[in-house]
Amino acid sequence: MVARVGIIGAGPSGLAQLHAFEQARSQGAEVPELVCFEKQGDWGGLWNYSWRSGLDEHGDPCHGSMYRYLWSNGPKECLEFADYTFEEHFGRPIPSFPPRAVLEDYILGRAGKSGVRRHIRFNTAVRWVDFDDVARTFLVTVESLDDGVTRTEEFDQVVVASGHFSIPNVPSYPGFDAFPGRIMHSHDFRDSQEFAGKNLLVVGGSYSAEDIALQTKKYGANSVTISYRSAPMEFPWPDGIEELPEMTKADGRTVGFVDGSTRDVDAIIFCTGYKHHFPFIASDLRLATKNVLYPPDLYKGVFFTGNPNLMYLGMQDQFYTFTMFDAEAWYARDYMLGRISLPGREEMEKDIATWRSREGSLADPVEQIDFQADHIDDLLKEVDYPDFDMNLTRDHFKKWEHDKVESIIGYRDRGFSSPCTGTQAPLHHTPWWEAMDDSLPTFLGTAPGYDETGD
């Protein structure tokens, strides 16, 4: 009997898994029956933008956390698919920091080319995953959201690719019940123009806080105060953005901070991160982790040690994204095809402990980048993923960190070279700080070197 593999989610990670199998099939391998369950009506995961926030049209929590005018926050060269380059997709070199719609187009371009859509059951939410100890199979209960019908299917292996930037972590502070303005999480943030002219408090000290502070200022906020818990980001912020330590309370619209300072604000946006949240997985199979580079209980960052036929993709905190998802998906595929065997549980746990202890000693982002690159290298050396210059991506990320420190509003105006083709990216026609239109035609249509005739 042909084995059955269930994949949960058709975002970049789930699509990487489907694509990896498709590659093997095209080379003559016998591939298991693949069924991918996607609760949204279309593919792309977070890149599938929706105006909705709160609950979706079916009454489930909205998956989307992306917002309008979101531009890539890292060089695209560090996430390039080695078997489907940006040049192949767009027919020419494009700048290094594309807006969301352009990256979405790229992700879907590869998925479309490899024809994996036929495996995906859209509008189908996975409601429960459990393991039958007798039959040694997974029982996956899904709900068809179009008609509410539930059914349970059996799988030999299950790949969880449901993402982990969707369920917000939302703290509370004294005085919030009487705050006379909007209090929200970045998960529900959609359009910066809502905050034009306002004085804004952004809580958090990481990517979302950085980007939402910049973006709201770019689109007309009067002032943005960023409140950090552990450490300030200390970028050279433009006028009108400042950093203060942790907030303590709100008194009316006046917010107090631990250093005794106060600010009057009109709205508060929590950029306090997300929870790894898998309410649809039985507790003994459920990954429990914070947002770290090497989660516990996942051998090679993928295999759940309690039952390695359950795999998780993309569960790490992310410098690398699509490249890492591909590496994990290729490795998982080769395990499922019987090309790679796994050690016993004790050895898996020892290996995880070594990685996690190293993560605990990392001093700065440069070491964190190398750590994640080493994780990817560790996987790629055993699979047939096409060659590309991984070391170049390490250098790019380190330069990018430096660029951000030099100019937080200007780092996206740089160009990097492709680790796959070597081509140097052209510079975008408009500095990011002045580029208000993030649409795909504007970005591509006027890019330097673009020839509309295609000649």
- Tell me the backbone φ, ψ of residue 450, rounded to 5 degrees: -75, 130
Cβ burial of 398 (10 Å; 0-12, 13-18, 19+) is middle
Amino acid in position 122: F
**Binding span for ligand NA7 by CB under 6 A among 48-56, 84-92, 271-279, 412-420:** 271-279
CB of 169 or CB of 430, closer to ligand NA7: 169
Residue 229 is a binding residue for ligand NA7 (CB under 6 A): yes
Site for ligand FAD in 7-46 (CB under 6 A): 8-14, 37-40, 45-46
Question: Which residue from 165, 237, 416, 443 is in contact with ligand NA7, where contact means CB under 6 A?
Answer: 165
- Choose the one of ligand NA7, ligand FAD, none that binds residue 171, judging by a C-beta under 5 to 8 angstroms depending on kind: ligand NA7
Token representation of residue 369: 């980048």
CB of 217 or CB of 253, closer to ligand FAD: 217
Residue 223 is a binding residue for ligand FAD (CB under 6 A): no
- Choose the one of ligand FAD, ligand NA7, none that binds residue 11, judging by a C-beta under 5 to 8 angstroms depending on kind: ligand FAD
Cα-based distances in Å from 101 to 41, 76, 321, 362, 449? 17, 13, 17, 34, 20
Residue 171 is a binding residue for ligand NA7 (CB under 6 A): yes
Alpha-carbon torsion angle 59, 37, 17, 331, nearest 10: 100
The least CB distance from residue 365 to ligand NA7, in Å, is 12
- Tell me the backbone φ, ψ of residue 331, rounded to 5 degrees: -65, -45
- Choose the one of ligand NA7, ligand FAD, none that binds residue 163, judging by a C-beta under 5 to 8 angstroms depending on kind: ligand FAD
Question: Which residue from 73, 222, 307, 407 is in contact with ligand NA7, where contact means CB under 6 A?
Answer: 73
- Up-side HSE of residue 241: CA atoms within 13 Å toward CB? 24
Q: What is the DSSP string of 311-333?
A: EE-S-S--SS-HHHHHHHHHHHH
- Choose the one of ligand FAD, ligand NA7, none that binds residue 72, judging by a C-beta under 5 to 8 angstroms depending on kind: ligand FAD
Site for ligand FAD in 160-189 (CB under 6 A): 161-163, 165-166
Residue 18 is a binding residue for ligand NA7 (CB under 6 A): no
- Choose the one of ligand NA7, ligand FAD, none that binds residue 316, judging by a C-beta under 5 to 8 angstroms depending on kind: none
**Binding span for ligand NA7 by CB under 6 A among 56-64, 106-114, 266-274, 409-417:** 266-274
CB contact at 8 A, 19 and 108:
no
Site for ligand NA7 in 278-297 (CB under 6 A): 291
Sheet with 182-185, strands from edge to edge, namely 182-185, 267-270, 199-203, 223-227, 241-244
Residue 230 is a binding residue for ligand NA7 (CB under 6 A): yes
Residue 272 is a binding residue for ligand NA7 (CB under 6 A): yes
The least CB distance from residue 164 to ligand FAD, in Å, is 7
Nearest of 363, 282, 367, 278 to residue 315 by alpha carbon: 278
- Choose the one of ligand FAD, ligand NA7, none that binds residue 79, judging by a C-beta under 5 to 8 angstroms depending on kind: ligand FAD
CB of 140 or CB of 203, closer to ligand NA7: 203
Who's near 434: CB < 8 A, 6+ residues apart? none
Site for ligand NA7 in 176-215 (CB under 6 A): 186, 203-209
How far apart are alpha carbons 307 and 157 in whole angstroms?
10
SS3 275: strand
Long-range contact pairs involving 123-128 (C-beta distance under 8 Å, separation at least 24) = 123/38, 123/39, 123/40, 123/41, 123/58, 124/37, 124/38, 124/39, 125/37, 125/39, 125/58, 125/60, 125/280, 126/8, 126/37, 126/39, 126/162, 126/280, 127/280, 128/280, 128/281, 128/282
- List residues binding ligand NA7 (CB under 6 A): 73, 165, 169, 171, 186, 203-209, 229-230, 271-273, 291, 318
- List residues binding ligand FAD (CB under 6 A): 8-14, 37-40, 45-47, 63, 65-66, 70, 72-74, 79, 125-126, 161-163, 165-166, 280, 314, 318, 321
